[in-house]
Amino acid sequence: MAEVQLRHIDKRWGDFVGVKDFDLTIPDKEFLVLLGPSGCGKTTTMRMIAGLEEATDGEILIGGKVVNDLEPKDRDVAMVFQSYALYPNMNVYENIRFPLKVRNIAPDTHDEKVRRAAEMVELTQFLHRKPADLSGGQRQRVALARAIVREPNVFLMDEPLSNLDAKLRVSTRAQIKNLSHELQVTTIYVTHDQIEAMTLADRVVVMNAGVVQQVGTPTEIYNYPANTFVASFIGSPAMNLVRGNVYKGTFTAENISISGLNSDVEGEVILGFRAEDAIVAANQAATNGVGADVFSIELLGEATMITVKVGDALIAVKADKEYSTDIGKPFFAEIPAAICHLFDAKSGDRISSMEGEK
């Protein structure tokens, strides 16, 4: 049983608050992703779980045992770092084996454990090589194997893919996803990349300025963002956000008019909708949505992204890959009320969406 509990964790350095009142239970075998921009407190939270940082307030429990006063080596966690942290003088085999030696695991079990871990990350043929002779992706897999061989209660992964190029990032992400399914070990994964979070996580914790903004499955966070920060951070592109006014169920802003919204909401709001949910229209007369000149065009392969400017906001609409237009030409898109989200204009907190969720 490797349930991890964080009970009202704070981390402060003098007057600076790094993490504020982080309160969450991570069930056994869950893959939890801490997601947010640089400086949001996600890595500090992970380091407190590992014992590399001391919590200012609150309790950390692993497997039902309070570990605040335990040394990192006594918490039965394995950490994978962004920088690989391999020993350059050791070959791959010895790098993977090293945790077994320092923990005084019976030597006659080492070879089997090392080779099994290496096989899991497809490194068997590279066991004789030194880290300098490996690619970035291979080095990261050595770091993963070194964590696997420990057979810990909890895996901690601190932005393990951020040093890899785009192609390697995709393949290594698939490797981690497969390993998670195979190993069934509680995993806490830190990233600023929302695509990693959405593809890997059972649940995502979105953080900003040390405060948890929302906790939920990738689907919940994508479909029902708790506030404008989450809405603007999740999705590629991020959710379109436009400031305007609602009166008798109709939202209006420069070049936008959408009727059929929640009639209980009136006054200044922020309206959100996703690029893929809007529908390209032939002309203004056909639209309950946006009409403006094309600001930019991006060919994405599977689609064409059209951006228009509405006041100070840039609005993205995903069109068919065959769609063709030019910058400066008129563009119209229907924005059905059912796809819209409303947020409080002052706090940014969610008011509602139009899909029956209040």
Query: Who contacts 110 (Cβ-Cβ below 8 Å, separation ≥6)?
Result: 97, 100, 101
Beta strands in 218-338 (DSSP E): 240-247, 250-253, 256-258, 267-273, 279-281, 289-299, 303-310, 313-320, 330-334
Is beta strand 256-258 parallel, antiparallel or unpaired with respect to 250-253? antiparallel
pLDDT in tens, 186-240: 999 999 999 999 999 999 999 999 999 999 999 999 999 999 999 999 988 899 9
pLDDT number for residue 285: 54
pLDDT given for residue 258 in this prediction: 93
CA distance 125 to 324: 49
- Look at residue 358 in the predicted model and tell me its pLDDT: 43
In the prediction, which pLDDT does 243 show?
Answer: 95
Q: What is the mean pLDDT of residues 18-22?
A: 96
Helix, strand, coil tally for the chain in percent (to 5): 30, 35, 35
Measured CA to CA, the distance from residue 266 to residue 200 in angstroms comes to 39
With contact defined as beta carbons under 8 Å apart, do 348 and 271 qualify? no
Give pLDDT, residue 92.
Answer: 93
For residue range 251-267, what is the model confidence (pLDDT) as tens digits?
A: 999 999 999 887 688 89
pTM for this structure? 0.88
Main-chain phi, psi angles of 34, to 5 degrees? -95, 115
CA angle 319, 321, 324 (to 5 degrees): 75
For the segment 29-38, what is each residue's pLDDT rounded down to a tens digit? 999 999 999 9
Judge whether residue 355 has pLDDT over 70. Answer: no
Rounded distance, CA 172 to CA 148, Å? 15
At a CB cut-off of 8 Å and minimum separation 6, what does 16 contact? none
Q: DSSP string covering 213-227, please? A: EEEE-HHHHHHS-SB
Report whether 76 contacts 154 (CB < 8 A). yes
**Domains of the chain by start residue, with CATH:** 4-228 (3.40.50.300), 239-353 (2.40.50.140)
Contacting residues for 322 by C-beta, under 8 A, at least 6 apart: 304
CA 231, 235, 238, 240 torsion-angle sign: negative
| Rounded Cα–Cα distance for residues 68 and 188 (Å) | 17
In angstroms, the CA 356 to CA 128 distance is 59
